[in-house]
Structure formats: C-alpha cells, structure tokens
Structure 1
Amino acid sequence: MMDDALIDYVAQAICRYLQQRPASADTLEGVHAWWIEWPDLPEAPAVTLAALERLEQQGVVERRHIGNRELWRACTRH
C-alpha cells in the first residue's frame, strides 16, 4: 500500500506546477521527472500515477489520448 502523505505531497506539487503553467501537458514520465521537485531521489512513477488519478477523480486534471500516448493536463471540463 502506498503512503497517503507521499501521494498528497505529489498531488500538491502537480497542482502548484499547473497553477504556474496552466497550459502544460505531459506524459506520466514527464510529470514524474519535471513537475515534481523531489526532496531526495525520485519515488517510483506509481506514486505519481496514484496522485494523478486522485486529482483526476477530483476534477483537477484529465488524461487525453493522443496517438499512442497518454497526456495529463489541467482539467478543461467543468
């Protein structure tokens, strides 16, 4: 089971990134590498996916399928 506090940390980092760059969109790997300021070594990408899925359920982010890639971005639907 993943650490809820860690997922919260990552979700907050994603929200901060999108507040500063609302038009951003990236793959899971890109979000994991560039959107989150890890205090030490990066955690596993599964933590970032869990945070993105939590934010998706809250209507904060959405995933878009473009070709064979899955991109995450701020939710444009309300």
Structure 2
Amino acid sequence: MTDISVKGEFIKLDAFLKFANIVCSGGEAKILIADGQVFVNGEPCTMRGKKLHDGDQVVTAGGETFVVRTGN
C-alpha cells in the first residue's frame, strides 16, 4: 500500500489516477473507471468525479493500492 499526498481538501478520482501515474490521460482514466477496474475502499467505483478525502479513501487500480493523503 502506497500513500499518495495531494494538495487541497480532496481530489477527484480521475485526477487521482493521473496524479498517481496509474494512467497517462483523462481518457484512460475514464475508460478504466467506466470498466469497473477501479476500487475505492474495496468497492468498484464508476464515478469519475468521486471526491477522495484524506486517509479514509483507499484506491486500488492497475494492481496497486493507494491511500489518499490530502492537505494544504
């Protein structure tokens, strides 16, 4: 499990996938999410704009698991 730190109060799921280098583009993120290949807290998530908050969100995609860390 890898911690990924981002600025701000939250980050949207599609932007998180790009930030964590799971995908190279927003288009790739959209496809991965729509295909049900992204899990948030162990559940498939098909909402591109889902807001991820500090520590309480665990994202699994591309065979890797990440804990979201946000802050200013």
TM class by smaller structure: 0.3 to 0.5
TM-score calculated relative to the size of structure 2: 0.35
Q: Normalising by the residue count of structure 1, what TM-score does the alignment of the two structures yield?
A: 0.34
Which has the higher Rg, Structure 1 or Structure 2?
1
Which has a greater percent of helix?
1
